[in-house]
Amino acid sequence: MHTKIAASIAAATVGAFLLSGCSDTSTDSSMDGQSTETMSSSASAEFNDADVMFARMMYPHHAQAVEMAEMVQGRSDNPDVQALASAIAAAQQPEMDQLTSWLAEWGQPAPSGDMGTMGGMDHGSGMGMMTQQDMDTLAGLTGPEFDRQWSTMMIAHHTGAIEMAQAEIANGSNQDAQQMARTIVETQQQEIDTMQQLLG
């Protein structure tokens, strides 16, 4: 009788542990059965330092590209430049939102759009960021002179973004971030080719 009760209590205890997920043995023994569920839920949560760096650095980089794209209105009469600027803003604003979302999911601080923080870190390191002086100079131009300077600056800017994206592809572990990086490489290289044609 006592053995039967003890067995029932033991079974109930094991059942409770299994339900609560607190038991070490349940975690080990049921790992195979849960593998698909665990994988699917952790796919977006898996990240490393390279992914965090990519998200934190690409955000202000994109922010500056969007700012440059917005400068085109009222300064350029070239429909090709206007179309490029619209395409850049349309592609990069949603990516900024996605980068912010990933950092939140990964428990990281929100990214900063402050050009000063990134400009200070990356000035001269090949990331293509413009200084405030560069931006002020561009803002003072109009017409063909603006188009030339804008295209030249945006080529340098895109080249920096491609370098950052290639580092993410090589070193990151988050599949979604790596996919974004591949998209950045592809689309921004196409835009560089277009701008080089515009410059002749």
Shared-domain flag, residues 86 and 102: yes
What is the tally of structural domains in the chain? 2
Q: What are phi and psi of 45, to 5 degrees?
A: -85, -15
pLDDT the model gives residue 38: 33
pLDDT the model gives residue 1: 54
Which CATH number belongs to the domain containing residue 85 in this structure? 1.20.1260.10
Between CA 159 and CA 188 the distance in angstroms is 8
Shared-domain flag, residues 51 and 147: yes
Shared-domain flag, residues 107 and 145: yes
The single-letter DSSP state of residue 141 is -
Shared-domain flag, residues 15 and 75: no
pTM of the model: 0.75
Shared-domain flag, residues 121 and 191: yes
Tokens of 33: 């059965």
pLDDT the model gives residue 123: 41
Between CA 105 and CA 178 the distance in angstroms is 16
Average pLDDT over residues 150-159: 98
Query: What confidence tens digit (pLDDT) does each residue in 53-93 have?
Result: 999 999 999 999 999 999 999 999 999 999 999 999 999 99
pLDDT the model gives residue 116: 53
Shared-domain flag, residues 191 and 109: yes
Average pLDDT over residues 93-120: 84
Q: What are phi and psi of 173, to 5 degrees?
A: -125, -10
Q: How many CB atoms sit inside 10 A of residue 71's CB?
A: 16
Between CA 6 and CA 9 the distance in angstroms is 5
Residues 115, 132 contacting (CB under 8 angstroms):
yes
Shared-domain flag, residues 101 and 186: yes
Between CA 44 and CA 174 the distance in angstroms is 7
Shared-domain flag, residues 7 and 66: no
Helices marked H in the chain — which ranges? Answer: 2-20, 24-29, 31-42, 49-71, 79-105, 115-122, 132-139, 143-171, 175-199
For residue 9, give the amino acid letter.
I
Shared-domain flag, residues 58 and 13: no
Shared-domain flag, residues 95 and 160: yes
Tokens of 59: 């955000």
Asked which of 112-116, 129-133, 178-182 is least confident by mean pLDDT, the reply is 112-116
Shared-domain flag, residues 158 and 79: yes
Average pLDDT over residues 112-120: 59
Shared-domain flag, residues 109 and 132: yes
Rg of the chain over Cα atoms, rounded to whole angstroms, equals 25
Average pLDDT over residues 115-134: 65
**Structural domain for 29, as ranges:** 2-41
